[in-house]
């Protein structure tokens, strides 16, 4: 059996002026070259033969490195399949003077072993010597499923996008077009750009792609763009020494403080160059933030699609963002961070009011972006650093006060929400506030989850027409965690019910995600499930049926 270090490689580099951009920070293109090289060495160490880059996805840049700092790259084979391997890449940056070390980037790359002649390859499995090895091995399989179903998921989302118009991009002042963001560049592949087989290094191609994408983003923001993440680098075919590589980049869409740039690479040998017929060898979608001269984040203008091709790229960016969110938040195995507030009856007024205010504050935040619509049910997402929130809006043919009465009583929630198994009142704090013990269904084959939450209801004040039902986790010594369940937490969630007229209202459900809540929303975020829509439709039916029956069945 292989030793623990057999598929690991460590590379350290000092950031020199030649590696930096105009702001004195490590060029993202240079970092991509180092990451690809380190990952390739790890793959070849495991396989024992030459390997080539098939794709690199899930690249997130958390920090930047500056001239004089040390960059350390650790690459490890997490799982070997038949002829391909997933490599996890972790990059840290260390300040030489203070010794402070920070996580710079995380990425996952896929490499394919190249057999010699007609020899068949079947890679040996990765030895799982620790609990961490086993976890990484399992998650690698989940990420591979996402990659394999990526095209089908993307096509389904594109079909879904075509059914509705983005209500924000039409008839809005300050919108921009992508007409001036197109960039083309040509590179000649020379021996230093290629490996010992004469094939162009994947990292070199990625670096060239990043250069043209940065120029494209800068033409829209008129600032200093910096690479924040990469959707995916997918290598469709090889290029060799002597090839001419043509890079075409353009902005596809913007999302508040970020912009997506698409890059397409075609390769031409001498004959193809003369005939003007190249080979599509690579595509990628790079996401940038940008800062102005005061180092403040720039808010990008909304993109106004003009042509049919503009609209296709615009919708494609929305679909890819959903899939990115799925990859980033669902299979990154984020650990649960405690958020629960210790319940103190002497502070019940302030705890209840802060519960309500947190929900209202979440609803009024800027940056909510429409994710999907289905039969008048609209789903929005809000991404803030490492936190994602979901908002579901739905029209209901019921008076607002009736909807409030039904939704504020959580003992009725299992009647319509398939995720809730039971909701039991364990403390009637006041007429408007109750503490519930909730059990939920099993997700992903794990143990079921349970929650202890404070639910605070508020009827409209004068000159207001919005009812509020807020919930957040609290800690009660009398209800300790049970080995039968995974004790989980709600950061901020609840309903806002706004009257439209005397017989109808709009119900909005909001949830700021914790790691324990994410599995219930994973499919919708990533685009491969409709569980949120199904729960929302069930909620509407429950309220409207109760109203139609004169509340006999539930009151």
User: Which residue is associated with the tokens 């806002």?
Assistant: 496
Alpha-carbon distances, residue 88 vs 47, 110, 379, 530, 535 (angstroms): 16, 9, 32, 30, 36
pLDDT at 553 over 70: no
Domain containing residue 240:
160-329
Q: pLDDT value at position 336?
A: 47
Q: Does residue 367 carry a pLDDT above 50?
A: yes
* Position 338 confidence tier, pLDDT thresholds 50, 70, 90: low
The residue from 124, 148, 172 where one domain ends is 148
pLDDT at 255: 86
Q: Which residue is it, tokens 């080979």? A: 279
Q: In angstroms, how far is the first alpha carbon of the chain from the final one? A: 65
* Distance separating alpha carbons of residues 359 and 85, to the nearest angstrom: 44
> Residue 121 above 80 pLDDT?
yes
Those residues with Cβ within 8 angstroms of residue 302's Cβ, 6 or more apart along the chain or in another chain: 168, 169, 172, 174, 175, 176, 254
Answer yes or no: are the C-beta atoms of 485 and 449 closer than 8 Å: yes
Question: pLDDT digit string (tens) for 227-236?
Answer: 998 888 888 8
Contacts of 12 (CB under 8 A, 6+ apart): 70, 71, 72, 73
In this predicted structure, the answer to whether residue 43 has a pLDDT above a threshold of 90 is yes
Q: Which residue has the higher pLDDT, 60 or 386?
A: 60
Residue pair 198/242 in contact by the 8 Å Cβ criterion? no
Count of structural domains, the chain: 3
Instruction: Tell me if residue 202 falls in helix, strand or coil.
Output: helix
- State how far the Cα of 388 lies from the Cα of 326, in Å rounded to an integer: 11
Tell whether 553 is covered by a domain.
no
- Of 549 and 483, which is predicted with more confidence? 483
137 and 169 inside one domain: no
pLDDT tens per residue, range 417-435: 988 999 999 999 999 999 9
Both structure tokens of 337 = 């961070």
pLDDT at residue 545 greater than cutoff 70:
yes
Predicted confidence band of residue 341 (pLDDT cuts 50, 70, 90): confident
What are the backbone angles phi and psi of residue 127, rounded to the nearest 5°? -70, 130
Closest CA to 433 of 470, 389, 397: 470
Residue 188 has pLDDT above 70, yes or no: yes
Q: 41 and 171: one domain?
A: no
Beta bridge partners of 417: none
Which has the higher per-residue pLDDT, 115 or 481? Answer: 481
In this prediction, residue 168 carries a pLDDT of 46
Residues 312 and 416 grouped into a single domain = no
Q: How confident is the model at residue 290 (pLDDT cuts 50, 70, 90)?
A: very high
CB atoms within 10 A of CB 520: 21
Cα distances (angstroms) measured from residue 297 to each of 223, 225, 346: 9, 10, 42
In a domain, 335, yes or no: no
Mean pLDDT score, 74-102: 93
More confident residue, 373 or 143: 143
DSSP 3-state of 434 = strand
Residue in this structure with the two tokens 């039969």, named with its chain if needed: 375
Mean pLDDT, to the nearest integer, of 539-550? 84
pLDDT at 515: 63
Give yes or no for residue 294 having a pLDDT over 70. Answer: yes
What is the residue whose two structure tokens read 């009725």?
Answer: 412
- Same domain for 491 and 511: yes
With respect to residue 12, please indicate whether it lies within any of the assigned structural domains.
yes
**Mean pLDDT of all residues belonging to the chain:** 85
Distance between CA atoms of residues 9 and 74, nearest Å:
6
For the chain, percent of residues with pLDDT exceeding 90 = 49
| Range with lowest mean pLDDT among 26-40, 132-146, 355-369 | 132-146
Among 172-181, 214-223, 362-371, 378-387, the range of highest mean pLDDT: 214-223
**In terms of pLDDT, which residue wins out, 351 or 445?**
351
Q: Output the CA–CA distances (angstroms, integers) from residue 505 to 31, 154, 203, 466, 552, in the order listed.
A: 52, 34, 54, 9, 21
167 — pLDDT class (breaks 50, 70, 90): very low
Using DSSP's 3-state secondary structure scheme, residue 406 falls into helix
352 & 315 share domain = no
pTM for the whole structure: 0.73
Same domain, 416 and 457: yes
Quick one: average pLDDT of 101-107? 92
Per-residue model confidence as pLDDT tens digits over 342-364: 888 888 889 999 999 999 999 99
Residues 353 and 497 in one domain: yes
Q: Are residues 358 and 422 in the same domain?
A: yes
Q: Is position 336 within any domain?
A: no
Residue 223: inside a domain:
yes
pLDDT reading at 374 higher than 80 = no
pLDDT at residue 110 tops 70: yes
Q: Which of 276, 303, 329 finishes a domain?
A: 329
Which pLDDT does position 522 carry in this prediction?
Answer: 59
What is the side-by-side strand order in the sheet with 70-80? 8-14, 70-80, 84-94, 101-113, 51-61, 224-235, 279-291, 258-268, 244-255, 183-188
60 and 186 in a single domain? The answer is no
Report the C-alpha gap between 265 and 202 in whole angstroms.
12
Asked which of 9-13, 206-210, 368-372 is least confident by mean pLDDT, the reply is 368-372
CA gap 475, 454 in Å, rounded: 10
Query: Which CATH number belongs to the domain containing residue 318 in this structure?
Result: 3.10.129.10
Confidence of residue 161 (pLDDT cuts 50, 70, 90): low
Mean pLDDT calculated for residue range 37-54: 92
Same domain, 282 and 408: no
Mean per-residue pLDDT, 84-112: 92
Q: What is the pLDDT, as a whole number, of residue 2? A: 40
Contact 107, 56 (CB under 8 A): yes
Residue 436 sits at φ, ψ, to 5 deg, of -115, 150
pLDDT greater than 80 at residue 50? yes
Domain boundary among the residues 101, 116, 148 is at 148
Contact 334/515 with Cβ under 8 angstroms?
yes
Domain assignment present for 479: yes
CB atoms near residue 316 (< 10 Å): 19
Q: Do the Cβ atoms of 176 and 301 come closer than 8 Å? A: yes
Reduced 3-state DSSP string for 271-338: HHHHHCCCEEEEEEEEEEEEECCCCCECCCCCECCCCHHHHHHHHHHHHHHHHHHHHHHHCCCCCCCC
E strand intervals along 170-271: 183-188, 224-235, 244-255, 258-268
Average pLDDT of 264-275? 93
% pLDDT > 70, the chain: 87
Question: What pLDDT score does 31 carry?
Answer: 95
Residue 155 domain-assigned? Answer: no
pLDDT in tens, 506-541: 999 999 876 656 665 655 555 556 777 888 889 999
> Could you tell me the pLDDT band of residue 141, with boundaries at 50, 70 and 90?
confident
- The CATH number of whichever domain residue 506 belongs to comes to 3.30.530.20
Q: Please report the pLDDT score of residue 169 as a whole number.
A: 47
The answer on 179 and 114 residing in a single domain is no
- Name the phi and psi angles at 405, rounded to 5: -60, -40
Residues 190 and 311 in one domain: yes
Q: Is 153 part of any domain?
A: no
337 has a pLDDT exceeding 60: no
What's the confidence (pLDDT) of residue 534? 83
């Amino acid at each position: 059996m292989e030793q623990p270090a057999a598929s690991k490689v460590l590379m350290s580099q000092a950031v020199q002026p030649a590696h930096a951009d105009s702001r004195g920070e490590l060029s993202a293109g240079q970092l991509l070259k180092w990451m690809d090289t380190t990952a390739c060495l790890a793959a070849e160490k495991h396989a024992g033969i030459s390997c080539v880059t098939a794709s690199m996805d899930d690249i997130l840049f958390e920090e930047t490195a500056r001239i004089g700092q040390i960059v350390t790259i650790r690459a490890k084979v997490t799982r070997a399949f038949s002829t391909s391997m997933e490599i996890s890449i972790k990059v840290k940056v260390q300040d030489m003077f203070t010794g402070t070390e920070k996580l710079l980037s995380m990425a996952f790359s896929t490499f394919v072993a190249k057999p010699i002649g007609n020899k068949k390859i079947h890679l040996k499995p990765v030895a799982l010597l620790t609990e961490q090895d086993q976890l990484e091995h399992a998650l690698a399989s989940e990420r591979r499923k996402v990659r394999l179903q990526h095209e089908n998921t993307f096509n389904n989302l594109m079909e879904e996008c075509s059914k509705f118009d983005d209500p924000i991009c039409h008839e809005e002042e300050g919108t921009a077009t992508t007409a001036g963001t197109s960039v083309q560049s040509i590179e000649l592949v020379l021996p230093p750009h290629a490996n010992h087989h004469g094939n162009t290094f994947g990292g070199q191609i990625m670096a060239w792609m990043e250069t043209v994408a940065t120029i494209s983003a800068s033409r829209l923001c008129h600032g200093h763009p910096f690479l924040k993440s990469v959707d995916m680098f997918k290598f469709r075919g090889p290029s060799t020494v002597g090839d001419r590589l043509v890079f075409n980049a353009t902005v596809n869409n913007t999302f508040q403080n970020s912009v997506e740039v698409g890059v397409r690479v075609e390769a031409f040998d001498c004959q193809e160059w003369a005939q003007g017929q190249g080979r599509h060898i690579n595509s990628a979608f790079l996401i940038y933030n940008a800062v102005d001269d005061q180092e403040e984040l720039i808010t990008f203008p909304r993109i106004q699609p003009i042509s049919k091709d503009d609209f296709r790229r615009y919708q494609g960016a929305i679909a890819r963002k959903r899939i990115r969110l799925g990859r980033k938040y669902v299979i990154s195995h984020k650990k649960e961070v405690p958020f629960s507030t210790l319940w103190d009856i002497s502070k019940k007024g302030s705890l209840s009011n802060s519960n309500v205010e947190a929900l209202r504050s979440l609803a009024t935040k800027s940056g909510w972006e429409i994710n999907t619509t289905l039969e008048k049910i609209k789903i929005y997402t809000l991404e803030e650093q490492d936190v994602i929130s979901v908002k579901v809006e739905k029209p209901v043919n019921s008076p607002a006060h009736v909807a409030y009465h039904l939704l504020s009583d959580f003992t009725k929630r299992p009647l319509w929400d398939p995720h809730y198994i039971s909701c039991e009142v364990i403390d009637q704090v006041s007429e408007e506030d109750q503490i519930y013990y909730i059990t939920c269904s099993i997700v992903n084959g794990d143990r079921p989850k349970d929650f202890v939450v404070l639910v605070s209801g508020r009827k409209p004040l004068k000159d207001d027409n919005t009812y509020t039902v807020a919930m957040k986790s609290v800690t009660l010594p009398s209800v300790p965690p049970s080995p039968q369940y995974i004790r989980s937490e709600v950061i901020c969630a609840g309903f806002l019910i706004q009257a439209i007229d005397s017989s109808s209202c709009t119900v909005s459900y909001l949830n700021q995600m914790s790691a324990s809540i994410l599995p219930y929303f994973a499919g919708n975020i990533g685009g491969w499930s409709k569980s949120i829509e199904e729960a929302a439709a069930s909620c509407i039916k429950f309220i409207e049926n109760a109203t139609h029956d004169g509340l006999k069945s539930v009151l």
